Structure 1
Amino acid sequence: MRSEIAVPIVKLSAGAIDKTEKEPEYKQLELFEWKVEDKFLESNNIPTSQVRRKNGLICLNDMWRVAGSVKNKIPSRWIALKHTQFLIKLLRTQVNGEIYQIYRGRNGGTFSVDELAYKYWEYLSVKRQVKLTEKKVQSQLAKSIGAVKREVQTLAGKIDILTAKELIEVKSVNNWKCAVGQVIIYGQSYPDHQKRIHLFGEASPAFLSMIRSHCTVFDIEVTWEY
């Protein structure tokens, strides 16, 4: 059975960015850490004796073997995927040092930082393609935040997620304009709350940049997952 775990979220910040350096625009990747004793691995029935670390990096090949050695999900193939490369690009703006290393030889393999290894384990854990739905994403996001209210009634409709400081609307990335309209209207009932839209699904960096540029005008934060 797959364990319930928090999903790393990419936050598209409206903060100042030095365009002259041509760095990736999405600089506010919310990171997480595994404890030294690897409680995450233990909680997913992966004894730390089965998954090596080298220079602080975790072995993706070991995770692949533990997950059943599925041929079309080998680390090198996953690393080459478009969305994996996008995540690596984001991580390089937030993490000091190498994001992943490939070691040759008998005890070699692909080793990565925990943030990237997490996404690989999630990829390995999906036995079949599971389509994300608004309700599933909303539930997972609420659980990752903690103390929240869900489906909060207003005169104009129900707010997906309400925290002490944020008003959040969850939508498929293709329905981002609906999310913008809803948080603007709901924000009238909670004027002191930060408006935020949380999007899910595949999207190119250029498309996300376009969404962010429109939302900045209305002081709406944008987060995204896929």
Structure 2
Amino acid sequence: GDNEVKKRDFTKLELKLDHVNRPLWACADGRIFLETFSPLYKQAYDFLIAIAEPVCRPESMHEYNLTPHSLYAAVSVGLETTTIISVLSKLSKTKLPHEIIDFIHGSTANYGKVKLVLKKNQYFVESPFPEVLKTLLNDDVISKARKAPEDCLAVSRTAGEIASGHDLLDEMQLAAATEEKETHSFEIDSAQVENVKQRCLPNALNFPMLEEYDFRNDTVS
């Protein structure tokens, strides 16, 4: 459609004054082109391998593609959304198209909002956001995987943990760190764990799960 044509129209990309020194072009449709002859090639290559999928690598120009999965992989190893955008912006010959910024935000915003927690040989889907769990339970696969379906979610409260170096925190930060946190959860059938994880991936419901083992309350093993 017209939208796709616009995303592939590079004539409106505004070159930065020092574009010659920058190694890549970032396009609105998520494609990235890297000059292999740039002095910054190695740094740019290492970064792109972490956030994007290689498409083709001819001699002078490599093509990569940003996808929800590649961005999910990037944040799952510790890259933050703001870092991905700022580094891409620094390496780009042009101002980043708003479409690519929106896409990066959309693909990474939900990471970490949902956990799959193993407690005493039982699996729980947990989140501090009850509305997120309700969204998941509206999905057929996940609602069928839920054990003992009930109208309400289980709620637990835990005191926040203070990281080392807490003497550097001001009073407001200290209060936030020690405040009781509410966690909402529901139990799922252990035989359905893989199906639930698949449904939460970026190409489906887009709430990729962090997996956690509850050591503190483990009295089984």
The answer to whether the superposition gives a TM-score over 0.5 is no
Of structures 1 and 2, the larger Rg is shown by 2
